[in-house]
Chains A and B, each alone.
Chain A
Amino acid sequence: MKINFLTKKGFTLIELLLYVSLSSVLLISTSFFMSTLLEARIKNQTIAEVEQQGLQIMQVITQTIRNAESINTPTQGIIANTLSVNTYDININPTVFEVVGNVLRIKEGSNPAIDLLNSKVKITDMNFSNLMRPGTPGSIRVEFVLSYVNNIGRNEFDYSKKFTNTATLRQP
């Protein structure tokens, strides 16, 4: 019986080593998978945040331009980082889009300025170009780069895209 037991113990050590190595491989791969998964999930959120906010503010800006009565600035052929338009509602004239400290703001008439972006994203290279033909109501090209705020420099928070669109004023 004793001999038998000792023989069995020897096998158990090898087995133990085998189990430990197997489980460590398994755990390492599992945690690697998990971290990849989490990274992918966060990156997904980052991309969605930038794309959706970019789309949203682009729609707000182009819709305002399209429905505007006239453009105050920029004038024909000028590129500026601030846009000022007059709408058909005198209470919100002028409606101004401006970038202050990487945040896009809209200011309608004498109302306080409102941020159009949350703190997760920042806007850079904001350009409003008035590319209208002479004698037309106006055509503004809107360009900006929207980036996810990435203070710790991690890859999953790194996403930046350029958005371009144009809105032409309708004839009065």
Chain B
Amino acid sequence: MKYEQSQSMKKVQYHSNQSGFSSMEVLLSATVFTLLVSALIGVYLYGEESTSLAGSRARATMLAKEGVEAVRNIRDAGFINIPDGTYGLSTAGNQWNLNGSSDVSDIFTRSITIKTDAANKKSITSSVAWQQNAQRAGSVEIVTRLNNWIRAGIGDWSIPIQQASINIPGNNDGIKIQVENNFIYMIRNGGVPNFIIIDVSNPGAPFITGFLALAGIPTNIIVSGNHAYVSNINNTEEMQIIDITNKAAPVVVGVFNAVGNADGRGVYILGNNAYLTRLSSVDNEFIIIDVSVPNLPVLTGSVNLNANGNEVVISGNYAYVATSDNIQEMKVVDIANPGAPFVAAGLNLPGNNDALTVTLANTKVYLGQGNNLYVGDVANPLLPNVNGVVGVGGLLNDIAISLGNSDTYAYVATSENAREFKVIDVSIPAAPAILGFVNMVGNNILSGIAYDTVLDRAFGASNSNTEEFVIFAPQ
């Protein structure tokens, strides 16, 4: 042991003599220590920076959110206020405005992009960009979708009211009516005028902008683009084409003289073809007319229905005609070849009353027969069938469908004196039900009805001598 100890003592002494080694050790340990401490400090410094960056990001998110909220408020004042584009925000006039293409606050630059997704639907992208530090840029993006919920079409039609009316000079009856882009096109069964254009952009105060005196007695009307097409009983003008570009001065530009003298009853337009149906005669009741040149309508094809063709609608390769036939109140005409249309199928409704009117929405067909409204399915046009029926209390003269509200409402014009106008809930095709009605002043017959999704108003044509034109509104 002693020997060993003295040996180790010797060793220690020997080592301590080499002082250079000790400084190296100190330097080494100091370096290691410095590295460790630097790493530790780095952690804290970077930690501090990232806390700060996180704060900036949070505030950038708030600014992006502000962009979305501001656009929401601008939208609340009217969907028209948010046109597509890229904008910044300004508070000029102490209200939110879209201004320029971006706006800067503090270190943040914000831009808002508005894009149309679908009709009445827009997506709003609010993005904020900033420089986090010399090397890194940051950005935050918030996307939301705004709908034009203010858009009419969601009114309560269970208690409709008569909002306004117009007394058209003379005592002739309003027959049919069409609405397009805030203008009403109405026909009467005679008198001057018998074709009237009414501005209804403000449904509370409609006014006549123009009119015409058509030859004969108009029976039905359809509007497409700059032209109105009117079916007529006139023996040389079964269909009249009216240029309605100038709402103050409509003008007849073309007439079509069908073979024979049967009265024109229904008219529809799709593409370059007009479809005319007539009262029964030896001549063909269903006629296809090429109207690509409005002042020179040309017969394309026709087929005999062996019954009155009262009204017609077209979808795809098929025409659906409301007829007086007792076993085929609705006839389906194949028009795939316009030169040679043929009756492809029919739908028999109970009883022998004539189907007077027909309207189509997607795969459902709405037929007015006698006092009943029938909801039919034409998903397979060759196998039409009846889903449901509801009595409307009087002769059903015309039907309009609200396409803008999930096809849930049918607006009908009837001859029931106490409830001329009715709203029918057809959301369940098997069980249509009367939702609301309006009793016009006096005992009238409401012959024509039209509905506008944007305005959420129904427009009626009646035989009243003081209010031939009426506007119905939801509450």
B:93-119 near A, CB below 8 Å: 93-96, 105-106
Least Cβ–Cβ distance between B17 and chain A, in angstroms? 8
- Return chain B residues, CB-CB under 8 Å to A91: none
Stretch at the interface among B53-61, B185-193, B266-274: B53-61
Q: How far is the CA of A18 from the CA of B54 in the complex (A)?
A: 47
In the complex, whether A102 has a CB less than 8 A from a CB of chain B is: no
Q: How far is the CA of A133 from the CA of B96 in the complex (A)?
A: 7
A:5-29 near B, CB below 8 Å: 11, 15, 18-19, 22-23, 25-26, 29
Q: Most chain-B CB neighbours within 10 Å: which of A15, A19, A29, A168?
A: A168
Contact of A164 among B37, B44, B105 (CB under 8 A): B105
Stretch at the interface among B66-74, B219-227, B236-244: B66-74
Given contacts A30-B33, A77-B94, contact A44 B44 (CB under 8 A): yes
Q: How far is the CA of A48 from the CA of B52 in the complex (A)?
A: 8
- Return chain B residues, CB-CB under 8 Å to A48: 51
Given contacts A133-B77, A136-B77, contact A164 B55 (CB under 8 A): no
Judge whether A161 and B70 touch: CB under 8 Å: no
In the complex, whether B40 has a CB less than 8 A from a CB of chain A is: yes
Judge whether B37 and A132 touch: CB under 8 Å: no
Judge whether A165 and B65 touch: CB under 8 Å: yes
- Return chain B residues, CB-CB under 8 Å to A29: 34
In the complex, whether B45 has a CB less than 8 A from a CB of chain A is: yes
In the complex, whether B383 has a CB less than 8 A from a CB of chain A is: no
Given contacts A22-B30, A29-B34, A171-B149, contact A44 B47 (CB under 8 A): yes
Given contacts A40-B47, A47-B48, contact A136 B66 (CB under 8 A): no
Report the nearest A residue to B76, measured CB to CB. A136
In the complex, whether A114 has a CB less than 8 A from a CB of chain B is: no
B:140-164 near A, CB below 8 Å: 149
Q: How far is the CA of A141 from the CA of B66 in the complex (A)?
A: 8
- Return chain A residues, CB-CB under 8 Å to B52: 47, 51
Judge whether A166 and B70 touch: CB under 8 Å: yes
Q: How far is the CA of A141 from the CA of B65 in the complex (A)?
A: 11
Q: Beta-carbon contacts of B5-44 to A below 8 Å, as 1s and 0s?
A: 0000000000000010011001100100110011011001
Contact of B19 among A11, A26, A44, A168 (CB under 8 A): A11
In the complex, whether A58 has a CB less than 8 A from a CB of chain B is: yes
In the complex, whether B63 has a CB less than 8 A from a CB of chain A is: yes
Contact of B40 among A37, A47, A79, A168 (CB under 8 A): A37
In the complex, whether B454 has a CB less than 8 A from a CB of chain A is: no
Q: How far is the CA of A161 from the CA of B72 in the complex (A)?
A: 27
Judge whether A131 and B70 touch: CB under 8 Å: yes
Judge whether B66 and A164 touch: CB under 8 Å: yes
Number of interface residues of A (CB under 8 A): 51
In the complex, whether B337 has a CB less than 8 A from a CB of chain A is: no
Least Cβ–Cβ distance between B310 and chain A, in angstroms? 45
Q: Beta-carbon contacts of A130-172 to B below 8 Å, as 1s and 0s?
A: 1111111111010000000000000000000111111110010
- Return chain B residues, CB-CB under 8 Å to A163: 59, 62
Judge whether A37 and B44 touch: CB under 8 Å: yes
Judge whether B55 and A58 touch: CB under 8 Å: no
Q: How far is the CA of A33 from the CA of B30 in the complex (A)?
A: 13
Given contacts A40-B41, A41-B44, contact A51 B72 (CB under 8 A): no
Least Cβ–Cβ distance between B16 and chain A, in angstroms? 9
Judge whether A161 and B55 touch: CB under 8 Å: yes
Judge whether B72 and A168 touch: CB under 8 Å: yes
Judge whether B77 and A134 touch: CB under 8 Å: yes
In the complex, whether A107 has a CB less than 8 A from a CB of chain B is: no
Report the nearest A residue to B40, measured CB to CB. A37
Q: How far is the CA of A141 from the CA of B400 in the complex (A)?
A: 46
In the complex, whether B91 has a CB less than 8 A from a CB of chain A is: yes
Q: How far is the CA of A34 from the CA of B30 in the complex (A)?
A: 15
Given contacts A40-B47, A137-B76, contact A18 B23 (CB under 8 A): yes
- Return chain B residues, CB-CB under 8 Å to A133: 73-74, 76-77, 81, 95-96
A:26-57 near B, CB below 8 Å: 26, 29-30, 33-34, 36-37, 40-41, 43-44, 47-48, 50-51, 54-55
Judge whether A131 and B91 touch: CB under 8 Å: yes
Judge whether B106 and A162 touch: CB under 8 Å: yes
Given contacts A47-B55, A51-B54, A77-B95, contact A139 B62 (CB under 8 A): no
- Return chain B residues, CB-CB under 8 Å to A136: 73, 76-77
Least Cβ–Cβ distance between B133 and chain A, in angstroms? 15
Contact of A129 among B41, B77, B91 (CB under 8 A): B91
Least Cβ–Cβ distance between B36 and chain A, in angstroms? 10
Binding site for A on B (CB under 8 A): 19, 22-23, 26-27, 30, 33-34, 37-38, 40-41, 44-45, 47-48, 51-52, 54-55, 58-59, 62-63, 65-66, 69-70, 72-74, 76-77, 81, 91, 93-96, 105-106, 149
Known A-B contacts: A40-B48, A166-B69. Give 10 more (CB < 8 A).
Answer: A22-B23, A29-B34, A47-B48, A50-B55, A62-B65, A77-B94, A132-B73, A133-B73, A141-B66, A164-B66
| 24 chain-A/chain-B pairs, Cβ below 8 angstroms | A11-B19, A22-B30, A30-B37, A37-B40, A40-B47, A43-B48, A47-B55, A50-B55, A51-B54, A51-B58, A55-B58, A58-B62, A129-B94, A131-B95, A133-B74, A133-B81, A133-B95, A135-B76, A136-B73, A161-B55, A162-B59, A166-B66, A166-B70, A171-B76
Binding site for B on A (CB under 8 A): 11, 15, 18-19, 22-23, 25-26, 29-30, 33-34, 36-37, 40-41, 43-44, 47-48, 50-51, 54-55, 58, 62, 76-79, 129-139, 141, 161-168, 171
5 A-B pairs with the lowest CB-CB distances in the bound complex, closest first: A51-B55, A77-B94, A133-B77, A139-B73, A40-B44
